Amino acid sequence: MPNIAQVLFNRIRSHPHLSAVSYGTQSISFAELGERTQRLAGALRAQPGLNTGDRVVLCMENRPEFFELVFACWAAGLCVVPVNSKLHPREVSHIVTDSAARAVFTSEALIDDLAPVLGQLDVPPFVCVVQSQAYAALLSATPLACIDVPATDIAWLFYTSGTTGKPKGAMLSHRNLMVMSWAYFADIEHVSPGDTKVHAAPLSHASGLYALPHLFAGGHQIILSGFEPDLIFERFERHRNITFFAAPTMVIRLLQSGGASAPHPGLRTLYYGGAPMYVSDLQRALDVLGPRLFQLYGQGESPMTLTGLSKQDHLGSGDAAHLARLGSAGTARTGIEIRVFSEDGLELPVGEVGEVVTRSDCVMAGYWNNEPATRSALREGWLWTGDVGMMDERGYLTLRDRSKDLIISGGSNIYPREIEEVLLKHPAVLECSVVGASHPEWGEEVVAFVVRRPGAELSEQSLDSLCLEHIARFKRPKRYRFIEALPKNNYGKVLKTALRQQLSQDSAGDGAR
């Protein structure tokens, strides 16, 4: 298998005049992308003097330089470490230190906050702002053609989004990313030269990873600087054959916006994932956006590729089987093995709940510089995902929760997602999240954090009756907390750890009074 950058160079050769990357009013063709990439590759080897395997942090808001830097690093045999621009400078500095990055590319918007922390590191990296003269100078270096590297070389160090503890760097090889790209073509869609991908979510994660197959096929990447529903809908009107990624919370924001109900003929595929999509939200999305939705279940450790719920799987009559399918994460993606294991590593029968494990050429080599975490995640050839779920007789996987989010109350297992699905049936509930709070008698008790729909009336009694109608009594939340918004990380995932912390601080406060 070639250096993954070579796949892009093939497309540059076959379709030099097509638009490759656009941002605002700027646009570059595949030929220009190739030229810039090769010059940057030459510069990275020559000026900061980077060597094969060195890590390069890319920390910038969504900007057009992102892709040329990713491919320049790969052409030069280097490893990229994309970092979400909204992280705190201290978190960025943790990633720079942990990955021992030798170079950091960032933007004007971030440099003032980053420079002081990066300057204090024991081995300060080479730092370059992509809008600077220094960057322009790199673009006049002698071009470097793509060098050969083994397919097992690490191409992308993917720092997990850290909804718990410090992020760890999943080591993704050229082969992992190629397998991810093949599975995209096999399961999600065929991409033709000139098709469009609109990016409004951070390029350092799902949106950017799936830009790879799209670019390999000659797709045009349109980068928006942030998630603004009106701007997104405007792009849906302007282009054709559009693919778009949104985390579930972003899909909800899209649906809430006025532009959602337009027909959007240009939108071909909206793929969503990265966090649970509740059935009632999904039904609304299907009503509004039509049969264009693909759900992916993945994690940094097996990038974007574990199971998928196809567009066809989303269709149905609304009967029980259809609703169960909508509540699932679909079936194993092409080339990916998925099983459900008991704690002692035995495969569980259909319908039994256990930990989701996977085995494939998409799975990471391990965590960077973290042998204990690698040993606990990769066991006897399987990646233990930390997610709890069950498989039905047709191979559809229904996820329950992260194993650490499971609530154990009076010795019974309670899966928060089941309760969240019920609460969201209430028309006045905009968002909710259920967690366990420690309880002297029961071990844990169920607490629901609820965000009201603006202007709607909502009482604890009405939520309680809804739960009584749909789930066992012991699973009902014992307490409700009405809040303005759920805490989320930069990728839109709800931070249950923050909710649990809030509860334990409150009970410590109660004890002190």
Q: How far is the CB of 262 from ligand AMP (least distance, A)?
A: 26
- Contact at 8 Å (CB) between 510 and 460? no
Whole-angstrom distance, CA of residue 173 vs CA of residue 451? 41
Q: How far is the CB of 408 from ligand AMP (least distance, A)?
A: 19
Task: Give the Å distances, CA to CA, from 246 to 221, 468, 474, 491, 500.
Answer: 15, 33, 34, 9, 26
Residue 476: strand, helix, or coil: coil
Whole-angstrom distance, CA of residue 503 vs CA of residue 268? 43
CB nearer to ligand AMP: pick between 16 and 386 = 386
Question: Which residues inside 137-166 make contact with ligand AMP, applying CB under 6 A?
Answer: 160-161
With a CB cutoff of 8 Å and minimum separation 6, the contacts of 20 are 28, 29, 30, 32, 33, 67, 215, 220, 221
Q: How far is the CB of 324 from ligand AMP (least distance, A)?
A: 15
8: left (phi over 0), alpha (psi -120 to 50) or beta: alpha
Quick note: the x/- pattern for ligand AMP over 189-228, rule CB under 6 A, is ----------------------------------------
Task: Give the strand pairing for 354-359 and 382-391.
Answer: antiparallel
Whole-angstrom distance, CA of residue 280 vs CA of residue 286? 10
Q: Which stretch binds ligand AMP (CB under 6 A): 229-237, 292-300, 359-367, 505-513?
A: 292-300
| 29 near ligand AMP, rule: CB under 6 A | no
Q: How far is the CB of 495 from ligand AMP (least distance, A)?
A: 12
With a CB cutoff of 8 Å and minimum separation 6, the contacts of 9 are 34, 75, 146
The two tokens of residue 275 are 């966090």
Whole-angstrom distance, CA of residue 390 vs CA of residue 375? 24
| 125 near ligand AMP, rule: CB under 6 A | no
Q: How far is the CB of 361 from ligand AMP (least distance, A)?
A: 18
Q: How far is the CB of 65 from ligand AMP (least distance, A)?
A: 24
Q: How far is the CB of 305 from ligand AMP (least distance, A)?
A: 11
| 331 near ligand AMP, rule: CB under 6 A | no
With a CB cutoff of 8 Å and minimum separation 6, the contacts of 377 are 301, 366, 367, 383, 384, 386
Q: How far is the CB of 249 from ligand AMP (least distance, A)?
A: 12
In the block, which residue shows the tokens 């233990």? 384
With a CB cutoff of 8 Å and minimum separation 6, the contacts of 59 are 82, 83, 84, 85, 87, 92, 104, 105, 106, 110, 114
| 402 near ligand AMP, rule: CB under 6 A | yes
Give the residue, chosen from 125, 219, 273, 366, that forms a contact with ligand AMP under the rule CB under 6 A.
273
CB nearer to ligand AMP: pick between 221 and 328 = 328
CB nearer to ligand AMP: pick between 43 and 329 = 329
CB nearer to ligand AMP: pick between 91 and 195 = 91
Q: Which stretch binds ligand AMP (CB under 6 A): 71-79, 254-262, 270-278, 431-439?
A: 270-278
Task: Give the strand pairing for 19-23 and 26-29.
Answer: antiparallel
Whole-angstrom distance, CA of residue 251 vs CA of residue 210? 18
Question: Which residues inside 60-119 make contact with ligand AMP, applying CB under 6 A?
Answer: none
| 300 near ligand AMP, rule: CB under 6 A | yes
Give the residue, chosen from 249, 299, 331, 374, that forms a contact with ligand AMP under the rule CB under 6 A.
299
Q: Which stretch binds ligand AMP (CB under 6 A): 23-31, 136-144, 187-195, 295-303?
A: 295-303
Burial of 339 (0-12, 13-18, 19+ CB in 10 A): middle
CB nearer to ligand AMP: pick between 168 and 174 = 168
CB nearer to ligand AMP: pick between 158 and 449 = 158
Question: Which residues inside 349-388 make contact with ligand AMP, applying CB under 6 A?
Answer: 385-387
| 275 near ligand AMP, rule: CB under 6 A | yes
Q: How far is the CB of 245 from ligand AMP (least distance, A)?
A: 12
With a CB cutoff of 8 Å and minimum separation 6, the contacts of 122 are none
| Residues of this chain that bind ligand AMP (CB under 6 A) | 160-161, 273-276, 295, 297-300, 329, 385-387, 399, 402
